[in-house]
Chains A and B, each alone.
Chain A
Amino acid sequence: MLEEIKSCREKAISARDKKAASGDDVDLDKYESHAAQAPQNNTIASISSDIKQAALSTGVMLDDQSQRSGTFVQIDNRPMHSAAAQEGIEVMATSEALAKYAWMKDYLWKAVDVDTDKFTAHTELNQADGYFMRALPGVKTTYPVQACLYMSRSRAVQDVHNIIIAEEGSELHIITGCSAAEREPGVHLGISEFFIKRGAKVTFTMIHSWSPDVEVRPRTCAIIEQDGLFMSNYVIMRPVRSLQSNPTAYCVGKNATVRFNSVIVATPGSKIDIGSRAILSAKGAKTEMIARTISTGGEIISRGYIEASELETKGHLECRGLILGEQGIIHAIPEIKGCRAGVDLSHEAAVGKIAEEEVEYLMARGLSRDEATAAIIRGFLKVDIQGLPPMLNAEMQKAVKQSEADLF
């Protein structure tokens, strides 16, 4: 294990100044960096009501946990609370899991490369902590497990490193809410590594609610084995200074499936470069990616990449964007790459404005122009997510609905 740790450190040191493959650079030296602090296990009651309120807007319910199978809270770089509420479900700080399980070395930095760029390097060099979630073989969460990641410090970097393991035949539903104190500048770096074993199913619903001066650089990868399913649902509708993220799913086992759904709104001043990637390298692997983007004046790059190199692989990618208001940029970059005969890949992308014909149709029924526009935008943002448990779907719709109020 020592060897492993040493080689990770060395790789991280070598990548410390390596710029990211896309997105604006962030000068991390302008922010304070802190090494992770030892996890605490505080009671929920000790968490301030401001943080609870922020968490609630991202689907994380701290006061009433009756509908959750586990909870994790991290403030800045310190895990504050972790508890599992179901037999066979594990929730703890990543550092605790490292101390507990020798096999953690087989997971840490095994989906995401530690030397991907300066952001992965930074989390390693600051010994980032985060959450460890695991469903034991065959165990299915009755309720979602929730995580709240909150930034309270001004001008600081939050480093997070999460490991999620769904053992064979298990089912793990996770809701993660990321938020920050109002109007505080900062950087959030979050590594998430997902391991979805044979026949397991993970749904990961993430709602971001930052403040307008925060820069966000998550790095996420998932490894999906035979008959495994990974569903990632992502919502960001509140202002952020910049966000760049391009999670990759590796479908390595037969019939492994990944679905990405995202709802992205860029308000004036926000710069969001976001995408999803699926590498289908096993027979029958499948992916579907749906992105709905709206610019109310901000800039969005909406990427999608599917690569298929085995028989009977299938992928579809859809980005639709609406530019509302005078300014705003939406740049859709859908890419598909087939590496042999027998793959079936397609994409569709559209960027435009709301069809006047549709607005007028609703107006002819008595809706005002504003009501008609709102109804159409609401419909645009409503992605019908197949296979997402109704409770998570409701959380996602609730988050969308709350933020819609700021849109019109």
Chain B
Amino acid sequence: MSNGNLLEINNLTVSVDDREILHNLNLSVKPGETAVIFGPNGGGKTTLLMSIMGFPRYRVIGGSIKFKEQDITHMPVDERARLGVGISFQRPPVVRGVKMRDMVLACLRRDDKEAERIVDELAQKSHMSNFLGRNINAGFSGGETKRSEMLQLLAQGPDLALLDEPESGVDLENISLIGQLINEVLGKIHPIRERSRSGLIISHTGHILDYVNARTGYVLCGGQIICDGDPHDILNTIKDKGYQECVVCLKK
């Protein structure tokens, strides 16, 4: 990679249903880097992740997204997934009739004899063994939904994981489990083997920082990245003074 970035977003402008949400946004992620995105409700965080994943409803009207040095700005969702982008949803839809097991199998993209065994192993790891026979997300509690999303990502094994509030609605006991699962998705458990996996994590509380080693933090507000720095420092500032400070800080 010439400039060493796994993901590179330049001047990205995105509209949803004819309303412009992201404005000339710039962001890059290096291989192996994990960054946390903070920002007020409605700031555009989900919109950013959905645009990187490539959902058609999020229309790119300016700028570009590069991944592994390929321009993916207009690439279909499934091709991006197969290229190595993965997402865990803030609020995934219920898919009636599609069983969790079949979904995890599909994420694995292999149908040898090992596949079923791997599914069972990953399900056990994410405490989802009892859910494999259920329809995806149907009647899942908030915390179960998050674990189900992590399980699917574990099976998919993306090079860039986009995690939309993985810890919101998760109880204190399960949060360390989610933290572990994130580390696993990011390949941090086998640091030598899979060092190059990267992550973009949206968080309001920053609890996830206790479990995941993130070096970079961003504040996304009003459709733009208005601040970057050490995620712990950013979190402390927000806790102390709220997002108002970020806006003021920007004006300096």
Q: Which residues of A contact B (CB under 8 A)?
A: 355, 357-358, 360-369, 371-372, 375-376, 378-382
A369–B95 contact, CB under 8 A?
no
- Cβ-closest chain A residue relative to B106: A367
Q: Are A366 and B107 in contact (CB under 8 A)?
A: yes
**25 intermolecular pairs with C-beta atoms under 8 Å apart:** A358-B93, A361-B92, A361-B93, A361-B95, A362-B95, A363-B76, A363-B77, A363-B78, A363-B81, A364-B78, A364-B87, A365-B103, A365-B106, A366-B81, A366-B156, A367-B106, A369-B76, A369-B78, A375-B98, A376-B95, A376-B97, A376-B98, A379-B95, A379-B98, A382-B97
Interface size class of B (residues with CB under 8 A): 20 to 34
Q: Are the CB atoms of A366 and B95 closer together than 8 Å?
A: no
Q: Say yes or no for B190: interface residue by CB 8 A criterion.
A: no
Q: Does the CB pair A380–B97 fall under 8 Å?
A: yes
Interface pair B92/A368, CB less than 8 Å apart: no
B56 within 8 A of A: yes
A18 vs B19: C-alpha distance in the bound complex, in angstroms?
A: 62
Are B93 and A357 interface neighbours, CB within 8 A? yes
Q: How far, in angstroms, from A333 to B82 measured CA to CA in the complex? A: 43
| Chain B: CB-nearest residue to A292 | B97
Instruction: Give Cα A368–Cα B156 distance, bound, in whole angstroms.
Output: 14
Report if B89 contacts A (CB, 8 A). Answer: yes
B120 within 8 A of A: no
Residues 124-140 of chain B: 1 if any A CB is under 8 Å from the residue's CB, otherwise 0?
00000000000100000
Question: Closest approach, in angstroms, between the C-beta of B165 and any C-beta of chain A?
Answer: 16
Complex Cα gap A363–B87 (Å): 11
**Chain A residue nearest to B85 in the complex (CB):** A364
Closest 10 CB pairs of A and B: A379-B97, A366-B81, A363-B78, A379-B98, A363-B77, A365-B107, A358-B95, A357-B93, A366-B82, A380-B97
> Which residues from chain B contact A376 at a C-beta distance below 8 Å?
95, 97-98
B211 located at the interface, meaning its Cβ lies under 8 Å from any Cβ of chain A in the complex: no
Contact of B81 among A358, A365, A381, A382 (CB under 8 A): A365
Q: Which chain B residues border A363 with CB–CB below 8 Å?
A: 76-78, 81
- Complex formed: what's the CA distance from A378 to B103 in Å? 13
Q: How far is the CB of B172 from chain A (nearest CB, A)?
A: 29
* Complex-state Cα separation, A365 to B88, whole angstroms: 10
Instruction: Scan B93-108; emit 1 where CB is below 8 A from any A CB, else 0.
Output: 1011111001100110
- Assembled-state Cα–Cα distance A355/B96 (Å): 11
A366 to B109, CA, bound (A): 8
B interface list, Cβ under 8 A from A: 53, 55-56, 76-78, 81-82, 86-87, 89, 92-93, 95-99, 102-103, 106-107, 109, 135, 152, 156
Given A362-B98, A367-B106, A375-B102, list of 9 further CB < 8 A pairs?
A358-B93, A360-B77, A361-B93, A361-B95, A363-B81, A365-B107, A365-B156, A376-B95, A378-B98
Are B81 and A364 closer than 8 Å at their CB atoms? yes
Q: What number of A-B contacts does a CB cutoff of 8 Å give?
A: 65
A378 and B93 CA atoms in complex are apart in Å by 17
Which residues of chain B come closer than 8 Å to A380, judged between CB atoms?
96-97
In the complex, what residues of B have CB within 8 A of residue A381's CB?
97
Contact B106 A375, beta carbon cutoff 8 Å: yes
If the complex has contacts A365-B107, A366-B156, A371-B106, are A379 and B135 also in contact, measured as CB distance less than 8 A?
yes
A342, B55: Cα distance in complex, Å: 49
Q: Cβ of B93 and Cβ of A368 under 8 Å apart? A: no
B155's nearest neighbour on chain A, judged by CB, is A365
- The residue in A360, A366, A376, A381 that gathers the most chain B C-beta atoms within 10 A of its C-beta is A366
Q: How far is the CA of A369 from the CA of B81 in the complex (A)?
A: 12
Q: How many angstroms between the C-alpha atoms of A318 and B242 in the bound complex? A: 50
For A360, what are the chain B residues with a Cβ–Cβ distance below 8 Å?
Answer: 55-56, 77
List chain B residues, Cβ under 8 A from A361: 89, 92-93, 95
Q: Distance in Å from the Cβ of A162 to the closest Cβ of chain B? A: 33
Verify B77–A364 contact, CB threshold 8 A: yes
Closest chain-A Cβ to B33's Cβ sits at a distance in Å of 22
- B87: nearest residue on chain A (CB-CB)? A364
Which residue of chain A has its CB nearest to the CB of B81? A366
Residues on B with C-beta less than 8 A from A358 are 93, 95
Which residues on A sit within 8 Å (CB–CB) of B76? 363, 369
What is the CA–CA distance of A294 and B107 in the complex, to the nearest angstrom?
27
A379–B96 contact, CB under 8 A?
yes
Q: Which residue of B lies closest to A379 (CB)?
A: B97
> In the assembled complex, how far is the CB of residue B50 from the closest CB belonging to chain A, in whole angstroms?
9
Question: Within the complex, what minimum Cβ distance (angstroms) separates B106 from chain A?
Answer: 6
Residues from chain A with Cβ under 8 Å of B86 in the complex: 364-365
Min C-beta distance of B16 to chain A, whole Å: 14
Q: Give the distance to chain A from B43, nearest Cβ to Cβ, in Å.
A: 22
A379, B99: Cα distance in complex, Å: 8
Given A376-B97, A379-B98, residue A366 in contact with residue B106 (CB < 8 A): yes
**Residues of chain A with a CB closer than 8 A to B99's CB:** 379
Distance of A70 from chain B, by nearest CB (Å):
33
Are A365 and B152 in contact (CB-based, < 8 A)? yes
Chain A contacts for B98, CB-based, 8 A: 362, 375-376, 378-379
Given known contacts A360-B56, A362-B103, A365-B156, is B97 in contact with A378 (CB within 8 Å)? yes
CA distance A363 to B152 in the complex (A): 12
A376–B93 alpha-carbon span in the complex (Å): 13
The smallest beta-carbon distance between B103 and chain A, in angstroms, is 7
Residues of A close to B82: CB separation below 8 A:
366
Q: A247: shortest Cβ distance to chain B, in Å?
A: 25
Q: How far is the CB of A272 from chain B (nearest CB, A)?
A: 21
* Distance (whole angstroms) from the CB of B95 to the closest CB of chain A: 5
Q: How far is the CB of A63 from chain B (nearest CB, A)?
A: 30
Q: Which residues on B sit within 8 Å (CB–CB) of A378?
A: 97-98
Chain B CB count within 10 A is highest, among A357, A362, A369, A382, for A362
Contact check, A355 vs B78: say whether CB atoms are below 8 A apart.
Answer: no
Chain B residues whose C-beta falls within 8 Å of the C-beta of A371 in the assembled complex: 106
